[in-house]
A and B are shown apart, each in its own frame.
Chain A
Amino acid sequence: MIDTVERAADTPDEPQPYADLGLAPDEYDRIRDILGRRPTAAELAVYSVMWSEHCSYKSSKVHLRQFGEQAPRTDRLLAGIGANAGVVDAGDGWAVTFKVESHNHPSYVEPYQGAATGVGGIVRDILAMGARPVAVMDPLRFGPADAPDTARVLPGVVAGIGGYGNCLGLPNVGGEVVFDPSYLGNPLVNALCVGVLRTGDIQQAAATGVGNKVVLFGAKTGRDGIGGVSVLASATFDDARQSKRPSVQVGDPFAEKVLIECCLELYAAGLVAGISDLGGAGLSCALTELASAGDGGMHVDLERVPLREPSMSPEEVLASESQERMCAIVAPGRVAEFLAVCARWDVLATVLGEVTATGRLEVDWHGRRIVDVPPRTVAHEGPVYHRLIGRPSDQDGLVADGPDRLPRPDDLRALLLRMVASPGLCSRAWVTDQYDRYVQGNTVLAQPEDAGVVRIDEATGRGVAIATDGNGRFTRLDPYAGAQLALAEAYRNVAATGAEPIAVTNCLNFGSPEDPGVMWQFSEAVRGLADGCRQLGTPVTGGNVSFYNQTGATPILPTPVVGVLGLLDDVGRRTPMGFAEPGDVVVLLGATGEHFGGSEWAFAEHGHLGGSPPLVDLAAEQALARVLRTAPLRSAHDLSDGGLAQALVECCLRRDRGATVAVDGDPFVALFSESTARAVVSVAEDDLDRLAELADEHGVPCLALGEVTEQPTLTVVDVLSVPLADLRTASESTLPALFD
């Protein structure tokens, strides 16, 4: 029996399964108030997915406002928060759009498809802005590297990212792999995509122009992913992993690849008046958001949606999260041309309805009205919560338990080899070699470099640099500082390539918003990030919040992942990370203090987390960035996890060059402290004075440590000396031994 609007009005007391769909009793009451009757089954499906935490940002909205309110003035931002993805002006008429999103819970339930469709979803967001996607990267977090479940999750996630991204022809140019016990039952699979377009070609996600047609195109609609946003993404996990598998979407990268080419051809021909991708909440989201952002009215004949499974109910059609679909608004006179382009790419396209002047979203199923709602109440005026905020009671104890009491090692050579081989610091090649980094022919730098660098204009060499970072341990110790440390590291990574950092995206991964302690972490992190972005002059352009990342009552480490985008006028002038020429001078930029709270050493050697994270100094980061951008450097590498020792090893291994350096003071502190705003660079001997001048001008401490050598050994005078072959074996054996 079809639950029509008429029937809903006639049967006000019929019980409805709103709780199973993730709605709270007061939310259900509010829907009844809005409609002046009970919702139909289809309306309930639409509201429940759209008012889920994932789609409505109901717990985070009141905090996220700071990103807009605090945003530094810039004329570079062409589209910001609220759009599918932020767009920044890249000069010469070019624009760049980028965004990072989470696909955490699906990737735990079904690692391959969860991770694959995470890539697919973020790529469609970028595509919907009118851009050609040009690169992806994936910040990943797993449980302990040697945990049995990590052996299930990690290989599947990596294969899924590769399987989908490689088939799309998108170079994977960076990302992260982090291990921590808190992610064991709740891995973090974030996906970032960058796209390029001309500034005049930004597409709008709005259904305007009464009489314009609503066209669904791409894959058929099936039963996969129903309730993905509400059941999976907006609730705490339990042991019902198996029963949630139907809520995971299934990806078809080939369908997405032709959809990309088809969309770009449609845009070029000027056939699209408005467009939205179909991702979380499927048609429910696309139709209500398009209508809400546009003229407000839309009529749709839902039975026209091409189905994989003909017995699907209208509620299922509305809630399905089947992948590789887009919804366009097309002028009536251009529909024939639109359909012809789709046919050329063998992309299924169907006219579902049209834009109306009614101010209501009306959906019919075989001529019977099943949805009649004001679309703004679904898409933009959902619930807003001021969740309870409370500093966790264990916070003081955690901060008081500093790393000072930890025994320090005598044998730094042995420590170096252990650290280099530790899961937190070892080579990521086992992961990244499963990703195509060459396709499209514009990849100038890719992992393990500090940032991915992609050329966007072959004629001028204009390009972008992008890096993501996040440190859950630092954020656990101090969420305000932790978010700023993530920002500072991504900023520094981008600057190390010689690019000018200009904009920020973020993926805020936290536990349950119903836990006041988690909300304290979240609110502090957002405040820190907003303040930091203001100081650095890099606005937040968009992003994503992922709550309910926890196992039972135990949340993950609070993990704000920050992506920074930078611009390079000429990618030919980028600075790579590896030592290049024997005889070059190795220089440390920035000041080193004693910073071991939350450090890789404390964690890897002692399993310790306590104290305070490294001091944040954003002015020092800016000064360092200016030096990195302007100095005549042969190589540059940021210092972060593992400190100077790890950075030197990575600089040596990159191009098989040795180095002989000397350090001042306590060698353990000099080599392993994680003080921020530092980089290790190499310069030709003749350029050393120029570098020192520039550093002095910007107030950046500049210390010549030694030189790059032909001999394949890393030597720290009077402290340690290790052949590169031993360092390489240590670095490159860990992940294959765990996952091959």
Chain B
Amino acid sequence: MASVLRVGVVTFPGSLDDRDAVRAVALAGAEPVRLWHADADLHGADAVVLPGGFSYGDYLRCGAIARFAPVLGPIVAGARDGLPVLGICNGFQVLCESHLLPGALIRNDVRRFVCRDQRLRIEARTAWTAAYRAGQDVVIPIKNGEGGFVADDRTLDELEAEGRVVARYLGGNPNGSARDIAGIANAAGTVVGLMPHPEHAVDPLTGPSADGLGFFTSILTSLVSA
């Protein structure tokens, strides 16, 4: 049997959910590898999670500084070669700023930070969602101030046509995202950006459900079968 898969979790100054992502990776059975923003080395990680938070304070535009962090060099290069990358919340914003994913995330239409248990439908089969049934309903927390996904109509049509809408909000759109989009993938299905926080739904004791664990177990099966 192959050695345990290594999943890198990046810490930027201002990352908040990095330790939660590390816990989720470990719970899923992979070996978490802490990656530091200033270190342009993935230390042998087979996949990478960009966690939630406010990288570098996000005073300019969310993720706009983080995309220039040294660690993004090997991540962006790796992603173009098939390295699975999951960007959660601020990580999603970084992936958009890095042009690994299309579109952008803007201030919530309600003009407030929103934290709530959110129903979602998992729609696309990707490296990070293989463990879910197509169309599966899950409950995963969202917590963001700038989580409204926007893109031009052509891009949105493309994402829909190519089956790259990973998850959609159910029971009310919390932030004004275009077409209720909660997450999207690149064309290869290896890079996924997600506004909700699956790392906060890995244990019913500390989250609304364990529905989020599937994102982290998915990557194990995806990498083993790849």
Contact = CB atoms under 8 A, between A and B. Distances in A.
Given A167-B54, A167-B57, A252-B57, A443 B113 contact: no
Given A167-B54, A252-B57, A440-B20, A435 B14 contact: no
B17 A169 contact: yes
B141 interface: yes
Nearest to B13: A258
Question: Number of contact residues on B: which range applies?
Answer: 20 to 34
Contact of B200 (A167, A254, A441, A572): A441
B69 interface: no
A666 B7 CA distance: 63
A162, A255, A438, A740 pick with most chain B CB within 10 angstroms: A438
B116 interface: yes
Interface string B18-61: 01100100000000000000000000000000001110111100
A571 B57 contact: no
A442 B114 CA distance: 19
A162 B113 contact: yes
A440 B57 CA distance: 18
A644 interface: no
B17 A439 contact: yes
Nearest to A344: B38
A223 interface: no
A458 B19 CA distance: 13
Contacts of B20: 438-441
Interface residues of A, number: 34
A431 to B, nearest CB: 10
Nearest to A458: B23
Nearest to B208: A438
A693 interface: no
Nearest to A443: B206
Nearest to A262: B13
A92 interface: no
Interface string A330-371: 000000000000000110000000000000000000000000
B143 A438 contact: yes
B54 to A, nearest CB: 5
A606 to B, nearest CB: 34
Contacts, number: 84
Interface in A241-285: 252-255, 257-258, 261
A205 to B, nearest CB: 27
B172 to A, nearest CB: 12
A626 interface: no
A261 B225 CA distance: 39
Given A162-B113, A167-B14, A345-B13, A438 B207 contact: yes
Given A439-B16, A441-B23, A433 B54 contact: no
B115 interface: yes
Nearest to A257: B14
B211 interface: no
Interface of A: 159, 162-163, 166-169, 252-255, 257-258, 261, 345-346, 432-444, 455, 458, 571-572, 740
Interface of B: 13-14, 16-17, 19-20, 23, 52-54, 56-59, 110, 112-116, 141, 143, 145, 197, 199-200, 202, 205-207
18 contacts: A159-B112, A159-B113, A166-B143, A166-B145, A167-B54, A169-B16, A253-B57, A257-B54, A433-B114, A435-B113, A435-B115, A436-B143, A438-B206, A439-B16, A439-B17, A440-B20, A441-B207, A442-B206
